[in-house]
Amino acid sequence: MIDLHTHTLLSDGALLPSELVQRAYSAGYRALALTDHVDMSNIDFVIPRIVEAVKELRPYSQLTLIPGAEITHVPPKLIEKMVGKARDLGAKIVVVHGETLAEPVAPGTNRAGIEAGADIISHPGLISREDALTAKQKGVALEITSRKGHCISNGHVAKVASETGAGLVINTDTHGPEDLITLDRAVMVLLAAGIAEENAGSVLKNAERLADKIWRD
């Protein structure tokens, strides 16, 4: 399992980075991104601590560890600035908290995250075909999620991605140990979203390619 969207107690997660990494390893993970929630109030605090944790843990972990951030509930006009700042602070993967149906996310957030060049738009809700096309053009991945609540729009996201050619990844949006999943469970989530069995492997490969690219960079 490669999971590019997780949270620790540096935002609203339950686990220290070190415990999350250990639990992910025990669950059979191969790569893990730590992407705690940030906005303008805490970005300077959170990202450097994730970067430091990853730096210290890497020599002792068999996982590929990636420092990142999820820009969350930021007004759309500020998202480009926040994406740039996150990268300047050392985030190797930047997720933008998309327009999930489970929360009152500002309209236009999906588009702003895509145009800002985020790596992933998490749980993008009823993303438009136009925005999905732009995501394809810019190489921004759309997320299929195993997270309760956010997952109710997985079918729509999968359908629009299939129609436009936008790339998909599957993540857990882990906040606690119970959210980590096996690779078999990830495949089940993809199938439940309406993704054909022969295409599920491609979605998993997308995450692997993204993780490898980030690691090389």
- Per-residue confidence (pLDDT) for residue 98, from 0 to 100: 98
Mean pLDDT of the chain: 97
pLDDT at 93 over 80: yes
- Provide the 10 A C-beta neighbour count for residue 121: 28
Q: Which token pair is 72?
A: 């969350």
Q: Taking Cα atoms as reference points, which of 193, 139, 145 lies closest to residue 169?
A: 145
Which amino acid, 67? P
Rounding to the nearest 10 degrees, give the CA dihedral for residues 52, 212, 183, 96. 60
CATH of the domain at 159: 3.20.20.140
Q: Which token pair is 8?
A: 């620790």
Mean pLDDT across 169-198: 97
Q: Which token pair is 95?
A: 């997720």
- Per-residue confidence (pLDDT) for residue 213, from 0 to 100: 80
- Per-residue confidence (pLDDT) for residue 214, from 0 to 100: 78
Strands (E), 39-183: 64-71, 93-97, 120-122, 141-145, 168-171
Angle at 88 between CA 6 and CA 17, to 5 degrees: 30
- Per-residue confidence (pLDDT) for residue 65, from 0 to 100: 96
Which amino acid, 42? N
User: What residues are paired with 64 via a beta bridge?
Assistant: 31
CB 154, CB 144: distance < 8 Å: yes
Q: What is the DSSP letter of 30?
A: S
Integer CA distances (angstroms), 118 to 25, 59, 62, 81, 107, in order: 26, 28, 27, 11, 17
- Per-residue confidence (pLDDT) for residue 159, from 0 to 100: 98
Confidence band, pLDDT 50/70/90 cuts, at residue 216: low
Provide the residue range defining the domain that includes 202: 2-216
Strands (E), the chain: 2-3, 31-34, 37-38, 64-71, 93-97, 120-122, 141-145, 168-171
pLDDT digits (tens, 9 = 90+) for 110-168: 999 999 999 999 999 999 999 999 999 999 999 999 999 999 999 999 999 999 999 99
Q: Give me the number of domains the chain comprises.
A: 1
This prediction has a pTM of 0.97
Confidence band, pLDDT 50/70/90 cuts, at residue 212: confident
pLDDT digits (tens, 9 = 90+) for 41-83: 999 999 999 999 999 999 999 999 999 999 999 999 999 999 9
φ/ψ of 102, rounded to 5, equals -85, -10
- Per-residue confidence (pLDDT) for residue 121, from 0 to 100: 98
